[in-house]
A and B are shown apart, each in its own frame.
Chain A
Amino acid sequence: MLIRRCSALLAAAALVVGAGACSGAGASSSAAKTLTIAAVLDNNSFDPTQLNIGNQMQYWSPVFDTLLTRDKDNKLQPWLATAWKYDAARTTLNLKLKSGVKFSDGTLFDATAVKDNLVNLGAGTGQNSYMSRSIATYQIVSPTELNLKLKSPDPGLIDYLASVGGAMASPKSLKAKDVATTPVGSGPYVLDKTGTVVGSTYTYKRNPDYWNTAAFPYDKIVIKPMTDLTARLNAIKSGQVNGALTDTNSLADAQRSGLTANTTPVNWNGLLLMDRDGKLVPALKDVRVRKAINFAFDREAILKNVSHGQGALTTQIFNTAGDGYDKALDSTYNYDPAKAKQLLAEAGYADGFAITMPESPGFAQYNAIIEQQLGAVGIKVKWVKVPANAVIPEILSGKYPVAFMTLGSQSAWQDIQKAVTRKSPWNPLKAGDPQLDKLLATAQNAPAAQLPAAMKAVSKWLVDNAWFDPWYRENSVYLSDAKTAVAMQAYNVAPAISSFSPKE
């Protein structure tokens, strides 16, 4: 009798658990028009002044339209702004806007809304507030047209309008108390608060009034933050999610499981040679020393053994899809330790010298390589331990002459602002050169047709003067299952929601 009761209980339990297991495997069994993805980070905020690019773009891209967008070939295309044009001096950008678009609270999208959003972003304290700070004044021509008057030419502005700089929220929501948790945009989806648990699941349902529903094939989007790589891999392998970011170490395993690897080379890995003026280590002021460091690294072996060949060798900081990239420069510093030693000897450092570098647990796989390869040409590395969450502030503090870094690259002007000018945050020792200043001024004021050449001239100068020591551009790897197609973007490690579509 007892055995029979126990068996019945076990059977009932198995049924309940089994039913749960089926419903738990969301992506595989739910409606075909639902996209479920795992995100590397939790959402930080829906406040338009706090939006981030990178992994967190996936949270806001369903709800906020941008003024411009990028197509699969990384070309800028109209979105809420139907046309854009600079004047001859490149200090006034004219924008023509789509009419009849409404935010999800019913407010009409117009030129005043654009102005309110750009002013709000510039006044904010978010990571991307700089994106609208080159705008001095706004001239509203009509509800569907406005002019942005710039303090000086800003070649990055139209790129920003396809990113956080162009994200449009209802003006009424910008100062609302719940702006961080309740997004009010004109995007293809609205946040479904009943299906959303902060830190666990973010659910989006279709915006019933959206003006371009056909461009977004999914009826429902579910984003699950999963900070652990193993959890993301298990989730996609078991069919719980349709897409997830991985790293190059897990790629082979994922492909064996039948997943598709979608790649884009956004980040470059290598050394930031920040002390170009020799303030901390006088040797680094000599271009021959910086070139010697470039020759000292066996980029090919590092790419093959650390990143499993997922990437391409480079000597440049610029994105291959941007204006500044020049393929011819990529073979400038092929591995040649003998030449490195010779250059060091010519510069008067035949016996080498010492540098101090931050040692971050996040880059542990590179530290031994750096020490060995620099040591082989006579440069001794002294490491200073830095906690993982302090590595960027430490590098930007200007305490170190050299640091290893993985830096994302977007448009050429954006990268220049990030790491090349005398005010750039990733130029913490504020190094500069009159010749470089001249090249930057030329690029800043160049008409659209001459911009690529001007940016390439900057790239050539940076490579010739060994301002950096990039080794290779590493692929960001985004996995998708058999039911999902993903078009990777050149400027972002994780694809936006518009980049996903169901496979036929």
Chain B
Amino acid sequence: MFRFIGRRLIACAVLVVVIAGITFLLAFSGTSNVARNLLGESATPDQLAAKNAELGLDKPLLAQLGTWAQNALHGDLGISWFTNEPVSQAIANRLPVTLSMVVLAVALTALISVGLGVAAAVRGGWLDRVIQVLSVAGFALPNFWVALVLVVFFSVTLGVLPATGYVRLSESPGSWAAALVLPVASLVIGSTASAAQQVRGAVIDVLRQDFVRTLRARGISPRSVLFRHALRNAAIPALTVLSLQFIALLGGAVVIEKVFAIPGLGTLTINAALQGDVPVLMGVVVTLVVLVVIVNLVIDVVSGWVNPKVRVQ
């Protein structure tokens, strides 16, 4: 198991370096207008040149990459060019916000999709058909549209939930929960639709296998067959889908944060990309890559723990 984790960690480190390098080259090659955007329309060519020198943009691209990487390895991700906020502080403030939303959404997706998927696979008939139709509908609805409908109904019309914003858990647990209800619901509807179908398919496949027939022939109760044996074998594809959902939800959170004015990593990324705030963009990309890599690693380890065949492979 340790060798398995070690191999995964090395692959992860390589991935972080490659993606950070590519992002750096893409982002820094488009910084010709940054000084003008920062200093405004009346800045003279001398002032623009001085600003470029202050930001290090007058150096060759590889030299800039070297400086950034050296600082990043020492934990210094730089300072936002547009808000003067240290990048590590900006990320530290916003990461818990996005994670609150995404982790809750993944947990709820797992719970609901397993429930729906198993029910559809085991019961079949009209329940299966209804769940399938709902899954297709949920998958087809864009999450930003769902978010807007939820806001109009629950916030503007009924006034029972906040339309925008985020409250820290330490500040008020009730307000924290209230602020997350609609954003999480917007994310969960789409992701559940997709995951429930995968769980249904996996459970049906497992239930058709020979060992399940043998278990039934030995007189094991249907409940035990399902929960102790079939679900464990169906967990691998379900876990893979959930890890993909986590990554998809991080992407979905960018739009949802915008709709609900939630100050998370998504909002930070959009603003940084629109302004050309490269230090922030780099910091966010590296953070997200590390996050995705960790999630994949955890899923790999859990899959190996659940099913030893995966470890051997």
Contact = CB atoms under 8 A, between A and B. Distances in A.
B84 A199 contact: no
Given A16-B173, A44-B83, A425-B42, A237 B263 contact: no
B260 interface: yes
A20 B261 contact: no
A465 to B, nearest CB: 23
A425 B84 contact: no
Contacts of B274: 388-389
Contacts of B85: 181, 198-199
Contact of B162 (A25, A47, A393, A426): A25
Interface stretch (B108-116, B128-136, B177-185, B226-234): B177-185
A121 to B, nearest CB: 13
Contacts of A230: 148, 259
Contacts of A19: 174-175, 178
B159 interface: yes
B37 A125 contact: no
Contacts of B311: none
Interface in A375-421: 388-390, 392-394, 396, 417-418
B162 A198 contact: no
Residue in A19, A21, A126 whose Cβ sees the most chain B Cβ within 10 Å: A21
* Range of interface residues on A (Cβ < 8 Å): 35 or more
A463 interface: no
A249 interface: no
Contact of B33 (A17, A43, A127, A389): A389
Contact of B161 (A24, A127, A392): A24
Contacts of A225: 261, 263
A128 interface: yes
A418 B162 contact: no
Does more than half of chain B's interface fall in helix, strand or loop, or is it mixed? helix
Interface residues of B, number: 57
B80 to A, nearest CB: 9
B43 interface: yes
A24 to B, nearest CB: 3
B90 A21 contact: no
Interface in A187-216: 197-200
A200 B89 CA distance: 13
Residue in B36, B84, B260, B276 whose Cβ sees the most chain A Cβ within 10 Å: B84
B161 A181 contact: no
A24 B41 contact: no
A493 interface: no
Interface stretch (B98-106, B163-171, B195-203, B214-222): B163-171
27 contacts: A13-B177, A17-B181, A20-B173, A20-B177, A21-B161, A24-B167, A127-B43, A197-B168, A197-B263, A224-B164, A224-B261, A226-B261, A228-B258, A228-B261, A232-B261, A234-B163, A237-B155, A238-B155, A238-B156, A238-B164, A388-B274, A389-B276, A390-B33, A393-B32, A393-B33, A393-B37, A394-B33
Interface of B: 32-33, 36-43, 47, 50-51, 82-85, 89-90, 93-94, 148, 151-152, 155-156, 159-168, 172-179, 181, 258-261, 263, 267-268, 270-271, 274-276
